[in-house]
Amino acid sequence: MKELVIISGKGGTGKTCVSASFAKLCNDRKILVDADVDAANLHLIIEPSDSEESSFTSGVKALINKDKCIECGLCIERCEFDAISDDFVVNEIDCEGCGVCHEFCPEKAIDLIPEESGKWFVSKTDSGTMIHAKLNIGGENSGLLINHLRKRAKQEAEAQNASYILIDGPPGTGCPATSSITGTDHVLIVTEPTKSGFHDMIKAKDLCDFLKIPVMIIVNKFDLNQDITDQIEDYANKSNALFMGRIPFDDDFPRAIMNKKAPVEYSSGKGADVLKSIYEKVIENINKH
């Protein structure tokens, strides 16, 4: 079983278009993961059904049991975050869940309640099982949630004897991106030919190098700036990344998304054609290693 994570140094490069298209093009058994949990949108193109829903909890919040509390004030004194009011109520927003009040309360009147920060789903789609999630507003720990989704995807892939796990990763190079690629087999970086796109792609490549993950690179909308595209290809060749191709600007792509379709199923235009040949190259490369 091979795992491919599709990431981008920055948002808006067309990563999800590529992920959804690969999901449609892959005829082998596979598990799809939307690991862009802060802005999940793969489900808008690959529609899930029959979703099994579970809660994702991360961290705890203190809760004072008034029946047990003798109002000694020790918890207020010990809380470094000033999260407990003078009338012994914990402010959920200020509480950091450190557990100090729970430890010090002489009456064992403080419980630490697991906090739900989102939901995650195992869904059926016409491209196979999809594992995805929805963080609550202000929900934290997306890195932990991504880890969880990847583990669940692996279990599902083993159970179904799937050949691939295709992951639509988060943009950027922070904790969510790191969680989505740590220990994976292959990363595909989707970039665009702008200065910021190039700069952020280098940061993503550096992160992959640090984690010793082989990298493939593609440029979306390459014809918007051929010069920067050439520089990106040159950089890929010199930095031991595999340059897999250039996708031309194609206004069928946004139209496909508006129609809830992957570009390769919506259009037979130039962009979709190139995407198909890039997919073949990527899969061939993955299967070599």
Q: Which one, 25 or 84, has the nearer CB to ligand SF4?
A: 84
> Residue 243 interacts with ligand SF4 (CB under 6 A)?
no
Shortest separation between residue 92's beta carbon and ligand SF4, angstroms: 9
> Residue 109 interacts with ligand SF4 (CB under 6 A)?
yes
Q: Which stretch binds ligand SF4 (CB under 6 A): 82-90, 142-150, 173-181, 236-244?
A: 82-90
Shortest separation between residue 114's beta carbon and ligand SF4, angstroms: 13
267, 256 in Cβ contact below 8 A?
Answer: yes
> Residue 58 interacts with ligand SF4 (CB under 6 A)?
no
Q: What's the angle, vertex CA 152, arms to CA 179 and CA 122, rounded to 5?
A: 115
Sketch the per residue contact string, 4 through 43, with ligand SF4: x for CB under 6 A, - otherwise. Answer: ----------------------------------------
Q: Which one, 29 or 78, has the nearer CB to ligand SF4?
A: 78
What are the residues whose beta carbons fall under 8 Å from the beta carbon of 230, sequence distance 6 or more?
none
Q: Which one, 87 or 227, has the nearer CB to ligand SF4?
A: 87
90, 143 in Cβ contact below 8 A?
Answer: no
Q: Which one, 96 or 230, has the nearer CB to ligand SF4?
A: 96
Q: Which one, 72 or 242, has the nearer CB to ligand SF4?
A: 72
Cα dist from 146 to 61, 131, 270, whole Å: 22, 10, 34
164, 26 in Cβ contact below 8 A?
Answer: yes
Q: Which one, 70 or 258, has the nearer CB to ligand SF4?
A: 70
Binding site for ligand SF4 (CB under 6 A): 62, 64, 69-75, 79, 81, 83-84, 88, 90, 95-101, 105, 107, 109-110
